[in-house]
Homo-oligomer: A and B are copies of this chain.
Amino acid sequence: MLYHVFMDVKIPRDLPAEEAAEIIAREKAYSQDLQRSGKWRHIWRVAGQYANISIFDVRDNAELHEILSGLPLFPFMDIKVTPLLRHPSAVREDDS
């Protein structure tokens, strides 16, 4: 089941640079593991912003929340979830 997720990152200025770097590195690994598993299906950078738009393919709302609330950057993100479904005009097999 698909979800559209917008993530806007605001890292506080008083977070020590090393701690920030370590969190960002963990975030990358966490994201790439989920991408390889197929659960984090797409991720794109929004031009001009420290933000991304992602598509998740998970079992249900609970699994989505478990993944999002486990993001190393979760405490520093504004997140907006939009549930998606197959569009009646879609031709691509895997857009659902």
> Taking beta carbons and an 8 Å cutoff, which residues of A are in contact with B?
1-5, 12-13, 27-28, 31-32, 35-36, 41-50, 52-53, 55, 60-62, 64-65, 68-69, 75, 79-92, 95-96
Contact = CB atoms under 8 A, between A and B. Distances in A.
Contact of A65 (B60, B62, B85): B85
Given A1-B61, A75-B13, A92-B35, A87 B47 contact: no
Contact of A83 (B12, B13, B55, B83): B83
Given A2-B61, A13-B12, A75-B13, A95 B46 contact: no
Given A12-B13, A89-B32, A90-B35, A61 B83 contact: yes
A32 B91 contact: yes
Contacts of A32: 89, 91
A32 B92 CA distance: 9
B87 A45 contact: yes
